[in-house]
Amino acid sequence: MNPIAEVWFFNQGWQPHGFQKETWKAIATGRSGLLNAPTGFGKTFALWFGILQHYYEDKHFRRQQQKFKTTKLHALWITPLRALSKEIYKATQELSAELELDYRIELRTGDTTIAQRQKQRKSPPQALITTPESVHLILASKGAADYFKHLEFIVVDEWHELMGSKRGVLVELALSRLKAINPKLKIWGVSATIGNLEEAQEILLGKDHNGVLVRAQIQKKLSIETVFPDNLERFPWAGHLGIKLLDKVVDIVNRYGTTLIFTNTRSQAEIWYQHIITAYPEFAGLLAIHHGSLSDEIRQWVEQALHEGKLKAVVCTSSLDLGVDFRPVNCVVQIGSPKGIARFLQRAGRSGHRPYETSHIYYVPTNSLEIIEGDSLKYAVAHHIVEQRIPYIRSFDVLLQYLTTLAVGDGLEAHVVFEEVKKTHCFESITEDEFAQCMAMLVHGGKSLSAYPDFHRLVLVDGLYKVESRKLAMRHRLSVGAIVSDLMMRVKFMSGKYLGSIEESFISRLKAGDVFWFSGRQLELIQVRNIEAIVKPSTRRTGVVPSWMGGRFSISPDLGIAIRHSFSHIRKRTGKSDEIKFLQPLFKEQENRSGLPQEDELLVEYIHTKYGYHLFVYPFEGKLVHEGVAQVLAYRFGKIQPVTFSIASNEYGFELLSATPFSIDQALITELLSPKHLHKDITEGINVQEMARRRFRDIAGIAGLVFQGYPGKQMKSKHLQANAGLFFSVFEDYDPHNLLLRQAYDEVFDFQLEEGRMQRAFDRISSHRIVLTFPEKLTPFAFPIFSESFRERYSNEDWQSRLETLKLQLEGKFE
């Protein structure tokens, strides 16, 4: 038994688990590894003990025998959140104090003051707790290699969270450098359970690693309950708010000590908060709200109050998904579909955050059909179905940033760094030629920008590429990182009248002439100019594009599988779960009006209403895929018959709506849904170029092509003119093989259109038997999709103002 741990555990009155001993042993024998264990079982301590043991030469460490002293950085702990860094810092401070260790642990994030940073440079602590971005910032300073030379351990916390994003690429690249500086570096990762844990390990530790995978053999106890409405008849067929079940949620809150109420959107959180306070004024002061639009102060106040057990409940969004552990929380409520199994589990795990305590989660459906997800979630959890995290590959934007980082720091030797980079998972396939292209872009702007001196950034000095301009170096440090916030576009009439702002990601998907809803008006897009969308009022009925949203919020493929599984039970009448029994009347209705699809069937409904001619299709593939499938279908249809469609979709299916009748039969549907020539039809049927252009903005920002401006300062530089859109056009015209340009298109196909998933969906559908019905009225399946297209969109002004009043209320609390 690890002697330091012994002391600690003795003092705590704890019994160490098998996985902790396994971790210590692995670390003691000089191995790297990945640790997977449920939250609340002391993963963090397990790793710290191993690291500390290594630090003290004397294996039989006792207080009086501290003899290892150094001013060298010994361990680096990377977390994805500043708040998490602080949490780990606090815990380790306590530990150090308890054991009277001579081991200095410090924090280094964006919050760290300049003075502290300077001190850390001069006399490094033994351990540094930090973020991926801050590690890159250290790499971007002189003497970085020296600073990291004695580093023995690196821990990447919540690796599953980083891996699926470009921040994961930042970590991969930093590791490649640190490993090169010190080949004996031991890497440890901490990951929640995901579908591809082995892959996660391989990406972190590198190919041919001989690290261990420590899996705790502890099953966290989890209780899942669906909250049912009193009767199905009075429960809405559509909608996503769930406020009808307010009283039942309050009942749950009353039964537990502290409850987190998760909603899917910020506005939904606001609405729930208001409704609870209005209906139950006794909750004033005991109920709080937490999401990304609130100020840091409010959020910190809420977190602190949660810690201290002062709150009865907090209504929140994903902002409380991760990180800080709130011991008093012993119940979680999920309003609406959690959209993914991993996220559902993650949220459930926010409660009962102690060994052997049960996590309680209540699932609150917001419309009739959604009730079924209660059954699907239980099925998925019971069968250990969890999503994978898909790592980014070939993110040349991050590579360009990284190369600049090195050049700002100690300077880089191209062929050395090429070999290092090639060992990462992300750039496994990079060729010498591609790397040379990257270098060329940094040295003289590459093929198309060499005429501009601003893009001659790297200079070769004694075999090392360096950034010599202090201005450029400074600017680079400011823009380190891979998080790009969504741009807001100003919506304006031709006269110049300003209507409001809207996510650029939405506008970028429209073509001139498309009609959309905004702030309660129906508008036609005339043109997009820089960051302005010029529109005019429209009354046109057809061609309305209600939304091509959902870029990020579709249900996961795995939850989709679980939902399809639940549906298969309904038709076969094998479902024994409460959810399926409860929904019988609804499905009866569906069957009477149209039909219920089996697992190997695809239901298609053709319905004529006063609004037009609707074609409803139900593949159960998630909203994102449905949007794409619908576009392709509409495009293919348009080539056969002259019909204009508007499109709507939800998690279960999609709708093509036309003002004019069209003819349809089984054979035609089969043909329209053929998986053949899919790539071609996507490219032609969807405005891929515009999507790539929008994607390119992020890429250009990360790559350092466009400078985002000094924080808090107005950007005056002429670089503003050289915006991403311009680069995109230049590359399209003069450098079509540009790596960043190609990356933009790849990302569109991989992440936005999810071409792979779409292809699989088409493949699956093509093997299904098509059941075509002609119902007289809208069916329970059709109604939610139908209502989707008749909703006002983007009138989020009123919840913004609600937000303001709330802020005022909360601020009153501070006094």
Chain residues 268-297 in contact with DNA, contact rule CB under 7 A: 268, 271, 291-293
Min dist. Cβ of residue 120 to DNA (A)? 9
Name which of 577 and 787 has its Cβ closer to DNA: 787
Identify which of residues 284 and 483 has a Cβ nearer to DNA in the complex.
483
- 29-88 residues near DNA, rule: CB under 7 A: 80-83
Question: For every residue of 713-728, which 3-state class applies, written as one string?
Answer: CCCCCHHHCCCHHHHH
Q: How many other C-beta atoms are found inside a 10 Å radius of the C-beta of residue 178?
A: 22
Minimum distance from residue 113 beta carbon to DNA (Å): 8
Closest CB 354 distance from DNA, rounded Å: 24
Which residue of 126, 264, 376, 743 would you call a contact of DNA, by CB under 7 A?
264
3-state secondary structure 232-281: CCCCCCCCCCCHHHHHHHHHHHHHCCEEEEECCCHHHHHHHHHHHHHHCH
324 to 343: interface string for DNA, x by CB under 7 A: ------------x--x----
Compare residues 186 and 466 and give the one whose CB is closer to DNA.
466
Residues 508 and 691 sit within 8 Å (Cβ to Cβ) = yes
Q: How far is the CB of 639 from DNA (least distance, A)?
A: 28
Within 380-399, the residues that bind DNA by CB under 7 A are none
Q: How far apart are CA 614 and CA 786, in angstroms?
A: 9
Give 552 or 581: the residue with its C-beta nearer to DNA: 552
Beta bridge partners of 225: 362
CB of residue 326 to DNA, shortest distance in Å = 15
For residue 530, which phi and psi values (nearest 5 degrees)?
A: 50, -110
Cα separation, 597 vs 588, whole angstroms: 12
* Subset of 404-433 contacting DNA (CB under 7 A): none
Burial of 461 (0-12, 13-18, 19+ CB in 10 A): exposed
CB atoms within 10 A of CB 457: 26
Among 708, 723, 766, 773, binds DNA (CB under 7 A): 708
* Contacts to DNA from residues 442-501, by CB under 7 A: 470, 474, 477-481, 483, 485-486
Interface residue with DNA among 131, 631, 738, 743 (CB under 7 A) is: 131
Nearest one of 371, 328, 323 to 347, comparing CA atoms: 323
Residue in 559, 799, 803, 806 binding DNA, rule: CB under 7 A: 799
- Closer to DNA by CB, 567 or 783: give it: 783
Query: Rule CB under 7 A: which of 769-798 touch DNA?
Result: 780, 783, 787-788, 790-791, 796, 798
Near DNA by CB under 7 A, which window of 91-99, 125-133, 197-205, 675-683? 125-133
Residue 553 in the binding site for DNA (CB under 7 A): yes
15, 29, 64, 118: which one binds DNA (CB under 7 A)? 118
Smallest distance from DNA to CB 241, Å: 4
Does residue number 549 form part of the binding site for DNA (CB under 7 A)? Answer: yes
Q: For residues 568 and 787, which CB has a smaller minimum distance to DNA in the complex?
A: 787
In terms of C-beta density within 10 A (0-12 exposed, 13-18 middle, 19 or more buried), how is residue 502 classed? buried
Q: How far is the CB of 75 from DNA (least distance, A)?
A: 18
In whole angstroms, the minimum distance from the beta carbon of 491 to DNA comes to 15
Binder among 240, 378, 466, 695 for DNA (CB under 7 A):
240
Which of residues 178, 181, 241, 528 is near DNA by CB under 7 A?
241
Residue 160: burial class (beta carbons within 10 Å; 0-12, 13-18, 19+) = buried
Identify residues 305-324 at the interface with DNA (CB under 7 A): 317-319, 321
CA dihedral 793, 798, 802, 807 (to 10 degrees): 80
Contact between 137 and DNA (CB under 7 A)? yes
The yes or no reply on residue 261 touching DNA (CB under 7 A) is no
Stretch that binds DNA, among 204-212, 259-267, 659-667, 721-729 (CB under 7 A): 259-267
Q: Which of residues 155-184 bind DNA (CB under 7 A)?
A: 165, 167
Q: Which string of x and - marks every residue 342-361 that binds DNA (by CB under 7 A)?
A: --------------------
Count of residues of this chain found to bind DNA when the rule CB under 7 A is applied = 79
CB 176 within 8 Å of CB 10? no
Beta carbons within 8 Å of 441's beta carbon, 6+ residues apart: 400, 449, 455, 739, 740
Q: Going residue by residue from 502 to 541, which x/- string records binding to DNA, judged by CB under 7 A?
A: ----------------------------------------
Q: Are 8 and 100 in contact (CB under 8 A)?
A: no
What's the count of helices (H) and strands (E) in the chain, helices before strands? 32, 25
Smallest separation (angstroms) from DNA to the CB of 268: 6
- What 8-state DSSP symbol labels residue 196? T
Convert residues 650-669 into a mask of x (bound to DNA by CB under 7 A) and - (unbound).
xx------------------
Least separation, in Å, of the C-beta of 476 and DNA?
A: 9
SS3 label, residue 659: coil
Shortest approach of DNA to residue 773 CB, angstroms? 17
- Angle at which helix 414-422 crosses helix 432-444, to 10 degrees, equals 130
Cβ proximity to DNA: between 97 and 114 the closer is 114
From CA 735, how far away is CA 395, in angstroms rounded?
Answer: 18
Segment interacting with DNA (CB under 7 A) among 264-272, 277-285, 378-386, 437-445? 264-272
Using CB under 7 A, pick the residue from 110, 309, 661, 736 that binds DNA: 110
Least spacing, CB of residue 159 vs DNA, in Å: 15
From 261, 313, 307, 263, select the one nearest 284 (Cα to Cα).
313
Q: Which of 414, 442, 397, 388 is nearest to 170 (CA)?
A: 397
Residue 585 interacts with DNA (CB under 7 A): yes or no? no
493 or 710: CB nearest DNA:
710
Binds DNA (CB under 7 A): choice among 351, 508, 547, 590 = 547
CA atoms of 221 and 459, how far apart (whole Å): 58
Which residues does 123 contact at the CB level (< 8 Å), separation at least 6?
Answer: 71
Could you give the residue ranges of the DSSP H alpha helices within 123-165?
132-139, 144-148, 159-163
Asked if 762 touches DNA (CB under 7 A), the answer is no
Q: State in angstroms the smallest separation of the CB of 482 from DNA.
A: 7
Strand partners, 772: 604
**Cα angle vertex 466, ends 460, 470, to 5°?**
130
- Give the tokens for residue 802: 């609600």
Specify burial of residue 296 (Cβ count, 10 A radius: 0-12, 13-18, 19+): exposed
